[in-house]
Amino acid sequence: MNYQSTRNKSISVSSAEAIKTGLSAEGGLFVPESFPSVSLDDIESLAQKSYGERAYFVLSKFLTDFTDEELWQCINGAYTKEKFGTNAIAPIYKLNSSAYFLELWHGPTCAFKDMALQILPHFLTVSMKKTNEDKEIVILVATSGDTGKAALEGFKDVAGTRIIVFYPDNGVSEIQKLQMVTQEGDNVSVAAVKGNFDDAQNGVKKIFTDEAYKSLLARNKFKLSSANSINWGRLVPQIVYYFSAYADLVKNGEIAVGDTINVVVPTGNFGNILASYYAKKMGLPIAKFICASNENNVLTDFIKTGVYDKNREFHTTISPSMDILISSNLERFLFDLTGGNDNIVSEWMAALSSEGKYTVSDEVKEKLQSMFWGGCSDDAETMAAIKKCAEEYDYVIDTHTAVAKSVYDKYVAETGDTTKTVIASTASPFKFNQSVLIALGDHSAVVGKNEFELLDELAKRSGMDVPKSLGELKNKQKIFNLVCSKDEMQNIVSDFLMIE
Ligand SMILES: *Cc1c(COP(=O)(O)O)cnc(C)c1O
159 or 109, higher pLDDT:
109
Mean pLDDT throughout 373-378? Answer: 98
pLDDT, tens only, 139-152: 999 987 778 899 99
Closest ligand 1 atom, CA of 400?
11
Mean pLDDT throughout 120-144? Answer: 91
> Does any ligand 1 atom lie closer than 6 A to the CB of residue 201?
no
Count of alpha carbons within 13 Å of 131, Cβ hemisphere only?
19
Catalytic residue of the set 9, 49, 83, 113:
113
> Does any ligand 1 atom lie closer than 6 A to the CB of residue 229?
yes
Residue 128's contacts (CB-CB under 8 Å, 6 or more residues apart) are 20, 137, 160
| Alpha carbon of 192 to ligand 1 centroid (Å) | 20
Residue 254 has pLDDT above 90, yes or no: yes
Residue 229 has pLDDT above 90, yes or no: no
pLDDT, tens only, 407-438: 999 999 999 999 999 999 999 999 999 999 99
Residue 171 has pLDDT above 80, yes or no: no
Residue 197 has pLDDT above 90, yes or no: no
> Does any ligand 1 atom lie closer than 6 A to the CB of residue 276?
no
Q: Whose CA is nearest to atom 1 of ligand 1?
A: 321
Mean pLDDT throughout 104-124? Answer: 94
Q: Among this protein's residues, is 94 annotated catalytic?
A: no
**Sheet strands (E) in 317-376:** 357-359, 372-376
Residue 175 has pLDDT above 90, yes or no: no
In 3D space, the residue among 302, 245, 305, 304 whose CA is nearest the CA of residue 272 turns out to be 245
pLDDT, tens only, 258-288: 999 999 999 999 999 999 999 999 999 999 9
Interatomic CA distance for residues 177 and 192, integer angstroms:
9
Q: Which residue among 230, 321, 323, 324 is best mutated to probe the pocket of ligand 1, counting the most ligand atoms within 8 A of its Cβ?
A: 321
Report the 3 state secondary structure along 3-55. EEECCEEEEEECHHHHHHHCECCCCCEEEECCCCCCCHHHHHHHCCCCHHHHH
| Alpha carbon of 323 to ligand 1 centroid (Å) | 9
Q: What is the pLDDT, as a whole number, of residue 146?
A: 78
Q: What is the pLDDT, as a whole number, of residue 106?
A: 97
Q: What is the pLDDT, as a whole number, of residue 444?
A: 82
Q: Whose CA is nearest to atom 14 of ligand 1?
A: 321
> Does any ligand 1 atom lie closer than 6 A to the CB of residue 266?
yes
Q: What is the pLDDT, as a whole number, of residue 167?
A: 95
Q: What is the pLDDT, as a whole number, of residue 158?
A: 82
372 or 226, higher pLDDT:
372
Residue 300 has pLDDT above 90, yes or no: yes
| Alpha carbon of 227 to ligand 1 centroid (Å) | 14
Q: Which residue among 109, 180, 232, 322 is best mutated to probe the pocket of ligand 1, counting the most ligand atoms within 8 A of its Cβ?
A: 322
Closest ligand 1 atom, CA of 270?
9
pLDDT, tens only, 301-357: 999 999 999 999 999 999 988 999 999 999 999 999 999 999 999 999 999 999 999
> Does any ligand 1 atom lie closer than 6 A to the CB of residue 238?
no
Query: Distance of CA 471 to CAs 86, 110, 207, 354, 493, Å?
Result: 18, 12, 36, 45, 31
| H-assigned helices in 182-329 | 197-208, 211-219, 232-251, 271-282, 298-305
pTM equals: 0.93
Q: Which residue among 179, 272, 386 is best mutated to probe the pocket of ligand 1, counting the most ligand atoms within 8 A of its Cβ?
A: 272
Q: What is the pLDDT, as a whole number, of residue 147?
A: 84
Residue 442 has pLDDT above 80, yes or no: no
> Does any ligand 1 atom lie closer than 6 A to the CB of residue 428?
no
> Does any ligand 1 atom lie closer than 6 A to the CB of residue 111?
yes
Return phi, psi of residue 144, to 5°. -95, 15
